[in-house]
Structure 1
């Protein structure tokens, strides 16, 4: 079926001239009907074009399309691919946590691209002006809907789609690789039989042969990696010698690089002709690569690919692999879900991987099937060959998976309480009847009807919902009244807003009950390190000594939480031990999110001074800066490097930067242009001035005098906390948006011979150290 004849207005949006057999068969359901659509089709059969067909129909009708991509890396890829739509005059906008949201661009976009996690965040905040655009979605395309069966991420996708349907009821077009129970997904999404399409293996462009191969397991995990690597090379070598290509999936970015280096040596010793090895023109072409290790590798026909490479390097490797200049490519799982980069032979070397937050975990069956589906190059190969290399203990599990596939299950029950709390916080659930109505919109409910022996259903389901709700009430997340109406407490609202596990929210709430004087940087670090989100962090044996070097034996008992605490404490000074570096980035990234949540908890329940302390701890971890100089990071454009440069020159606060002026900043080591911008930014920050007015120096014993002190900012303004103490005893504390504020201060001639009044000002949302001034009054 010719694209230009069927869709003349959008012909340039497609990278081909004719739809294939599967696409042509699915086209009427997508273009000629308005119901929700579910399509199950083999990997590499062309499902992306079905997403684009649904988008074209939406655009033609003047609507907005939302594309849910399974991975963040794929959202950026779609942004590049769909420049074709931009060329036709339509706007594509990617919404991710990596970028600052531009609400105007999002609101005006014709095509929105998000991960399920970001869509969850947006739909939770749909009433805010920043995220109101999510209420205007007319069509939602779910790419790889079998992600429903993924740990944790699956439940996020499930509740997000259910919430989106309640918000704006968009048309849903759900796409999936082959799955056993496509009818269950169709029942969940209310797709009619005419728009529920299941394409079998005969629609796969290239037949797939998939097998399980075992290796001899040893005592040393490091040596086992190489045993699996040699097994993978044995499987790939015949195809490479025959002019084919091989794609080998490994567990981590570091593994791609190490395996590629070892494979180069091994294949050379076997005298296997590889790619464009020895081609002078290709040698010259590779000069564009910024990763020198990758450049040396591709010259021998062996490449590696992972999300940490620059976009340009990844693009070059993909191009050379398609051309055949690279014949063997090592990759992480990202490549399986995204880039259309098939190979004659696909080998999964690692079925287990190390997750910094979960320890050693088995690769998801969904990932396994997705990877194996990359075998077979349309137009080049008559068949695709795929292999899983695993321990003999696991062999039957994988043989069953390859033979029977896997039904898609709901993962909602694993996080039922957290998701129920979120819906109550949003106001979509107001009583027990609403709880039942909500669960009936989920995939969980459909699976419970189809497989009651594996799920709670009927009376058991209602009882489980009541128990979950009762626990939320008991733990302080939810409250009910005499008429059994349900409402989220402030604790429940903050827990939902920051996607916290309920145990973590309880932990943060307990910290907020402490006296302000007992709150310290160490207490904040321990609260975050002990969060439930870090329960499964793997503290490996060789890391224990490095952890002990940072921590005392009395700090936290759990090895997982001790490891996190060691990384966070070392991060404040930029001295993370080498043995902890591999997991440090992921742990810091998650800890910063938790610190932002804790700051909000402290602001809500303890006040601005506690929140300010948490904000400074967050800035220290992010920028590896001392407590004395952390205020420098409040200046726009000053991160870790520039803050340390300024600190070495004797500046520790934005006020010091303003007083140094541009010349002083240049002498400190900043370029003139940077110095000008840093100076201007520092001038915009709030600077506290305290005017004591007619505050007395003395007061007769037994007399009282009420005076007023003016607190203002001489530059900028921000939300502030103002604290007044006398002889270290709290008198008053005020939270206000500070431009200028008048604070009443009582002067009482009591028993003390001297009264030392201290006024302290802090900014809870800025990493500025509190500013204090004191005045002494003599009692005569």
Structure 2
């Protein structure tokens, strides 16, 4: 049978070494051989996985070598799988290097590069997204695009993928546009070669990629596969209403034992799961429930493999012949497991579906456990066709097997769908209409689309147009339409997305229906930014600070596929908040509960040089930081076009530098940027105080080596690198109406001798004013600074009310040697606005809001303190009651006589003292009375524009609360006492109390009006005994007619002022005797006794008030 296959001898002798590993070409290669090697026709080949389709690309490259010199060859290889690009890069570099062919790979891992350097390479391997970025500016690189001879597309069935298929479709259509352009200029046409897994509508792809007419297409069945593949789909019962996807996935674990025993034949088995958690759970279930018979030499080999692993759980599983593999493992563990399975040492490997997209690990049996995978929008979706074919394509080892098996375990509802898929009866469809907005904008910026008529011509070059004609219902078009009506319907779809672009300010359409891009649209296309992300940027006000910009970046659509896994939360929450370890710079509120919070936390952790121990988060972080670099550059260029956006632009420039250096602009880990210093060494040096380049320069190299445990000349190298960094000084001065900004390179001689930074790295000069206007925005390379070490800029002040001007000189690549300065032009005096005279209810409302905002207190402690205070009060009441009881008879008689005198002789005085007199008839007060007194006190404080702080309010509130709880204290008396204390000269802050509430100090001091709150019951007891002395009062009526001064008052002249530092500045000097000695001797003795009793009571009252005031501060 092999006699019908083409021999390697059919290849011209110089190029036979490229195919030397094959004895001959197989069936697929043999049939395509002549069209691939001996013509320049475009080809489309659909063949099963593992049928040697890569050789077709190699034959097309040999065709180029046969017809052209090396310098005139440009072949482009497009693959949706990054790992496949790297695999082909290594393989083709070995095969074609002897022909002076240079290969280059362009994927998401590739740093920025100059597209002009592509001229130096003959074979360029790229992902669709990366090639989209490059060709969006193809008119700027005409020399390169004119040189392209061959365009190769691997896995063209990617067109069926929902998210990535549209990108592949657009770049092929763009290359067709380029082909037309170069043909019109007399250049050779581009040859298209595409290969795919077996698909039913390969002729549609041929019609699409053919530059003029349909390309030659080949379709092969499964019979040509070197290793026969038995594909079986199992459908199991699934009730979406009663059963979750997770539970269904878990239930499939119990099906695995029987399936492995039935189909594996003791050969290597590969099980694909949708999530990392499912991978580990499945591996554990198999370890617990599946017995694998291992030979002695196998056990010894597994022991050796296990000893090389660092994951404890993985070590235990490998000892049982079962391993798991996912991106959460460290790289060394992944590589060890891959190699062990490839060599056949591990019988069963459980892995995520992403392994099929990267590493080629063939197995005898492949099991796809559940066809549902997590969707980044929050739910679950089915595997796309590309993923399914990649996974089942791992089945069959050509060097060991003659047949293999692929099992798909899915729901009963989806069984027919996947049977049709693996039988290759499901046609490839376009997904361009789902992502048309961004791609339309890119073509408008490229001037590929200039009006609606040209837009329709571009649309007709897409795969969408081909499939819409043949299957209109798939694209929501009516069946049976003529070609003209189909074109009209597709144009309507195009107009809808054009209107979105116009509404967002990215595209302009004039009255002549001419389409042109705006600056925003050009920036969006240049940096390959999603439409929704650009809309997010346009909502920026221009005053954003760094923390706000971080929040905006975290919400960009580019991170929509970053999901928050359950296992991520612990690590992220520790990075966000921790009592002892260093955390992120701007902690997030609460716990990390969403994907954008995860992105925000990862960004800050990377910039803060924090240790991340979770491997899956580390994997996400590298991609996030790369994407942030691109987004920040887009934002900077957009903000340049915005007026009044100096603040946001400044912070965006600083943040872009931070993304590139992976450090905050004020980081203490600046030494991490030096060669030979990583995360651990930088943390050690920071703990040693080497937190700036200046400190490193001033430190002895031996000291540095001592801190980090390295030998000479490591310290010398670090110091020399730090000396080779530029040091700048900035001066900003005002002369008349002009501001001079001067920047000097201080260490010019050291830099000329040895410069650590790249001479092409740039510094940004940014000058803005206090009105948020951008005045100067310029960039200077380090090489320019070496030639001109002094920069002087002049800024004319046109606004005479301008407050300040700020200048910043910022490195775009390095952290640690920026400089900035602010010049104050006008010092604006701070104006204190008078507080409005608010109503007492407004004041109390504000106060209660503040109370709600205060931190919670220890309720148990407060309750205990309050209980102790009550006990003290009750004890004092008992002591006072005992004293009163001992003297009740004599004091009652004397009080009775004095009150009788007061009633007759003190009528006028009683009127004057009416406001301050204690009403003893009712000792129990109501809640309304308490509230009225609180309102009164707050209003009096407010009238004089004196406000109490939280401590004052707390003290007064607590005092009045006790008043309310005890319910025996008269509020009017309490208010008088507080006001009296606050009027003392030695009070904490002397204030003016409402003059309506005067305390009688200058004239007469009423003894009855100064009763203590704790002696209210004493007054009641006195009152009860007054009735017993009515008869004695009748005997003293003669006293009422005598002209004498009342004993209950004291003249102002009898008040002496003591030392103001004393706690009692006012004391009663003596009691004035009556002018006419008309009172009996007994009455005088009783009066003296009353005076002594009162003084004792007064001293006790004053001590208690002082104790209360000591806890209360009044703020003026």
With normalisation by structure 2, the TM-score equals: 0.60
Distance 1:656 1:705 in 2: 39
Distance 2:555 2:230 in 1: 47
1:107 paired with 2:119, answer yes
Task: Out of 678-687 and 473-482, give the one that drifted further.
Answer: 678-687
The aligned residue for residue 49 of structure 2 is 43
Segments of 5+ residues of structure 2 without an aligned counterpart are 1-5, 180-188, 478-485, 578-585, 752-760, 828-1116
Distance 1:749 1:314 in 2: 64
The aligned residue for residue 19 of structure 1 is 25
Contact preservation (8 Å) 2:159, 2:169: yes
Contact preservation (8 Å) 2:38, 2:63: no
2:368 to 343, 348, 351: 348
Distance 1:459 1:757 in 2: 57
Task: Out of 208-217 and 174-183, give the one that drifted further.
Answer: 208-217
Where do residues 739-758 of structure 1 align in structure 2 (5 Å cutoff)? 739=785, 740-744=790-794
1:529 paired with 2:541, answer no
Aligned in 2, Cα 1:275/1:50: closer, same or farther, shift over 3 Å?
Answer: farther
1:203 paired with 2:215, answer no
Aligned in 2, Cα 1:665/1:128: closer, same or farther, shift over 3 Å?
Answer: farther
Aligned in 2, Cα 1:612/1:275: closer, same or farther, shift over 3 Å?
Answer: farther
1:251 paired with 2:274, answer yes
Contact preservation (8 Å) 1:588, 1:621: no
1:687 to 727, 731, 739: 727
Residue by residue over 1:330-389, the C-alpha shift from the partner in whole angstroms, topping out at 9 and shown as x without a partner, is 333345346554333211014223366766432213311332243344464453322111
Distance 1:101 1:750 in 2: 45
Distance 2:810 2:220 in 1: 63
2:161 to 132, 150, 163: 150
Distance 2:799 2:151 in 1: 71
The aligned residue for residue 129 of structure 2 is 117
1:71 to 69, 76, 81: 81
Distance 2:771 2:15 in 1: 72
Aligned in 2, Cα 1:290/1:634: closer, same or farther, shift over 3 Å?
Answer: closer
Distance 1:667 1:773 in 2: 37
The aligned residue for residue 765 of structure 2 is 721
Residue by residue over 1:164-205, the C-alpha shift from the partner in whole angstroms, topping out at 9 and shown as x without a partner, is 232355211100111121111011011877821011122123
Task: Out of 396-405 and 229-238, give the one that drifted further.
Answer: 396-405
1:449 paired with 2:469, answer yes
The aligned residue for residue 260 of structure 2 is 236
Where do residues 28-39 of structure 1 align in structure 2 (5 Å cutoff)? 28-39=34-45
The aligned residue for residue 820 of structure 2 is 772
Contact preservation (8 Å) 1:4, 1:10: no
Distance 1:723 1:531 in 2: 29
Segments of 5+ residues of structure 1 without an aligned counterpart are 697-703
Contact preservation (8 Å) 2:232, 2:407: yes
Where do residues 560-639 of structure 1 align in structure 2 (5 Å cutoff)? 560-569=595-604, 572-573=607-608, 582=616, 585-586=619-620, 589-590=623-624, 592-594=626-628, 596-606=630-640, 610-617=648-655, 628-629=666-667, 632=670, 635=673, 637=675
Distance 1:482 1:298 in 2: 71
Task: Out of 583-592 and 186-195, give the one that drifted further.
Answer: 583-592
The aligned residue for residue 14 of structure 2 is 9
The aligned residue for residue 470 of structure 1 is 499
The aligned residue for residue 514 of structure 1 is 542
The aligned residue for residue 85 of structure 1 is 95
* 1:778 CA drift (Å): 10
1:736 paired with 2:767, answer no
Aligned in 2, Cα 1:603/1:235: closer, same or farther, shift over 3 Å?
Answer: same
Q: Secondary structure at the match of 1:454?
A: helix
Distance 1:618 1:709 in 2: 24
Residue by residue over 1:285-333, the C-alpha shift from the partner in whole angstroms, topping out at 9 and shown as x without a partner, is 8877787876765565444455677888767656654554333233333
Aligned in 2, Cα 1:660/1:485: closer, same or farther, shift over 3 Å?
Answer: farther
Where do residues 34-433 of structure 1 align in structure 2 (5 Å cutoff)? 34-62=40-68, 63-86=73-96, 88-89=98-99, 90-100=101-111, 106-127=118-139, 133=144, 135-168=146-179, 169-190=189-210, 195-215=216-236, 225-240=249-264, 242-252=265-275, 256=279, 259-260=282-283, 262-268=285-291, 272-274=292-294, 278=298, 280=300, 300-305=320-325, 320-321=340-341, 323-337=343-357, 341-354=361-374, 360-378=380-398, 380-403=400-423, 405-433=425-453
Task: Out of 440-449 and 453-462, give the one that drifted further.
Answer: 453-462
* 1:567 CA drift (Å): 4.5
With normalisation by structure 1, the TM-score equals: 0.84
Q: Secondary structure at the match of 2:107?
A: coil
The structure that has the greater radius of gyration is: 2
Instruction: Provide the alpha-carbon RMSD of the alignment.
Output: 4.2
Contact preservation (8 Å) 1:709, 1:744: yes
Distance 2:602 2:104 in 1: 36
* 1:149 CA drift (Å): 0.9
1:711 paired with 2:749, answer no
The structure carrying a bigger strand percent of its residues is 1
2:810 to 751, 755, 762: 762
Distance 1:584 1:279 in 2: 33
The aligned residue for residue 876 of structure 2 is none
Higher relative contact order (CA 8 A, sep 6+): 1
* 1:65 CA drift (Å): 2.0
Distance 1:708 1:731 in 2: 17
Contact preservation (8 Å) 2:542, 2:649: no
